[in-house]
């Protein structure tokens, strides 16, 4: 097989296209054939997919577990809420908002872009400070970040309505919008993974000493991933509130952190395919349990699982994966299409020629 740049690109692109197609088909089936409730479920799943894909951009490539990304989701979500909710309500309830936000109502695109960019900027500032820490210390710092965001947003009443919710956000996000952004997120994640930054970052994960000896700046590559992942997660946040119509601080704390991390771990921390598989698996799992909790009529009685079963089952499922298959359902590998030759070879773009020495 001739290894021209064109054919290499094609071999790398085909699995990605397959994934995109898969996600689209599933969404289309549910949205077109299912009822309204299922459309809501699939939209929420797509939003979570965006978040988990964003998580994988950082966690998967750097090997550093971040507990704080839902904090970025919160920041972007509230920014979108500020942009799109009713000005009269804002002037009444959110007296601390700056005038340009308080008196106007901005369209969907502005809200999403603004939220994601804000999250990315915060990530840039915070990351520049903490990403020099070692793996565990950085993880602890991200947890502190989540707690700080939660604390600040819960108490800054004049701007966030504190522990109560911001309501009246126009609910413009449905399955197709979610799908469009999800596909974009997947493409971004693959692009980053195979880019210079992605490669260099993964080298720091696999062999930090060698990476540093090759001239890779650990902080810089980590920061690039951190900012991009915050951006993607931010998009998820902005979409989320424009799907729900409300924004509450408590939505973006430990529960959601756990669920998104669970999705990533169960699917496979190190790959974008893992993120997708994880979201799909957990969503199906949770829906199944929700169905059981609602009650299955058996003969004359209704057999129902007690409330809280789905969460417990999810926790148990996650523990089982960590024990028996710590690399997740996909083994942290990307999708490989049969008959296309070695995908590892296909995935590797030209190594950077400046500075870094080629390691065979």
Partner 1 sequence: MINFAQTFIDALSLGSLYALAALGIGLLFGILRLINFAYGDLITLGAYALIIPSTEAVATLFIGGWPWFMVIIAVAVIVVAAALLSDLLVFRHIRRADPATLMIASFAVSFVIQNVILMFYGSRPKSVDLWSNLNYQIAVGGLRIPLLQIVTILATLVLMGGLTLLLKRTALGIQMRAAAEDFRMARYLGVRGNLVIGLAFAISGVLAAVASLLLLSQTGTLSQTMGVPLMLFAFIATVVGGMGSLIGAATGGFAVAFASVFLQAYLPDDLRPFRDSFVFGIVILMLLFRPAGLVPTKALVERV
Binding site for partner 1 (CB under 8 A): 63-65, 129-130, 132-137, 139-141, 144-145, 147-148, 151-152, 155, 254, 258, 261-262, 265, 306-309, 311-312, 314-316, 318-319, 322-323, 326
Nearer CB in complex with partner 1: 160/273: 160
Residue closer to partner 1 by CB (options 133, 167) is 133
Using alpha carbons, select from 284, 273, 265, 283 the residue that is nearest to residue 323.
265
For the chain, the straight-line distance linking the first and the last C-alpha, in angstroms and rounded, comes to 21
Tokens of 144: 């502190």
3-class secondary structure, 297: strand
State the nearest-atom distance from the C-beta of 152 to partner 1, in Å: 6
Cβ contacts of residue 71 below 8 Å, gap of 6+? 145, 146, 148, 149, 150, 252
| Smallest gap from residue 245 Cβ to partner 1 (A) | 23
The answer to whether 346 and 12 have CB atoms below 8 angstroms apart is yes
Could you tell me which residues come within 8 angstroms of residue 161 by beta carbon, excluding any fewer than 6 positions away? 93, 94
CA distances from 274 to 102, 162, 329 (A): 41, 36, 7
Q: Which is nearer to partner 1, 177 or 248 (CB)?
A: 248
Closest contact distance (angstroms) between CB of 325 and partner 1 is 12
CA distance 113 to 41: 24
Compute the distance between CA of residue 194 and CA of residue 331 in angstroms, rounded to an integer.
Answer: 18
Half-sphere exposure of 219 (CA within 13 A, CB side): 10
- Tell me how far, at minimum, the Cβ of 168 lies from partner 1, in Å: 25
Nearest-approach distance from CB 228 to partner 1, in angstroms? 21
| Residue closer to partner 1, measured from CB, 132 or 290 | 132
Q: How far is the CB of 3 from partner 1 (least distance, A)?
A: 36
Considering beta carbons, is residue 93 or 265 the nearer one to partner 1? 265
| Closest approach of partner 1 to the CB of residue 71, in Å | 11
Is the Cβ of residue 124 or residue 133 nearer to partner 1 in the bound state? 133
Cα–chain center distance at 173:
17
Cβ of residue 149: shortest distance to partner 1, in angstroms?
Answer: 9
Q: Of 269 and 335, which has the nearer Cβ to partner 1?
A: 269
Q: What separation in angstroms does the CA of 335 have from each of 88, 218, 228, 289?
A: 49, 28, 22, 28
- Using alpha carbons only, give the angle 331, 337, 339 rounded to the nearest 5 degrees: 130
Residue 20 structure tokens: 């995109």
Beta bridge partners of 296: 303
Backbone dihedral angles phi then psi of residue 166, each to the nearest 5 degrees:
-90, 125
Nearer to partner 1, 95 or 151 (CB): 151
């Amino acid at each position: 097989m001739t290894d021209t740049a064109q054919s290499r690109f094609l071999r790398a692109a085909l699995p990605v296209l397959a994934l995109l197609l898969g996600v689209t088909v599933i969404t289309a089936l549910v949205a077109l054939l299912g009822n309204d409730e299922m459309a809501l479920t699939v939209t929420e799943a797509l939003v979570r997919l965006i978040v988990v894909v964003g998580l994988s951009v950082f966690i998967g490539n750097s090997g550093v577990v971040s507990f704080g990304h839902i904090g970025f989701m919160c920041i972007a979500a509230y920014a979108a809420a500020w942009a799109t909710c009713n000005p009269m309500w804002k002037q009444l309830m959110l007296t601390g908002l700056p005038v340009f936000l308080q008196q106007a109502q901005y369209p969907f695109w502005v809200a999403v872009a603004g939220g994601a960019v804000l999250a990315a900027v915060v990530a840039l500032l915070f990351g520049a400070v903490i990403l020099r820490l070692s793996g565990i210390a950085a993880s602890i710092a991200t947890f502190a970040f989540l707690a700080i965001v939660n604390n600040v947003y819960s108490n800054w009443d004049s701007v966030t309505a504190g522990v109560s919710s911001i309501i009246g956000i126009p609910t413009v996000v449905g399955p197709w919008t979610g799908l469009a952004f999800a596909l974009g997120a997947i493409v971004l994640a693959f692009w980053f993974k195979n880019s210079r930054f992605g490669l260099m970052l993964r080298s720091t994960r696999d062999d930090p000493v060698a990476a540093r000896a090759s001239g890779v700046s650990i902080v810089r590559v980590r920061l690039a991933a951190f900012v991009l992942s915050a951006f993607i997660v931010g998009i998820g946040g902005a979409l989320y509130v424009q799907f729900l119509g409300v924004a509450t601080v408590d939505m973006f704390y430990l529960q959601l952190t756990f669920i998104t991390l669970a999705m990533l771990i169960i699917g496979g921390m190190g790959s974008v395919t893992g993120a997708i598989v994880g979201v799909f698996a957990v969503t199906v799992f949770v829906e199944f349990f929700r169905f059981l909790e609602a009650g299955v009529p058996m003969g004359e009685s209704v057999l129902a699982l007690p409330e809280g079963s789905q969460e417990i089952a999810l926790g148990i499922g996650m523990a089982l994966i960590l024990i028996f298959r710590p690399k997740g359902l996909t083994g942290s590998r990307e999708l490989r299409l049969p008959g296309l030759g070695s995908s590892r070879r296909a995935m590797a773009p030209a190594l950077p020629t400046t500075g870094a020495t080629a390691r065979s």
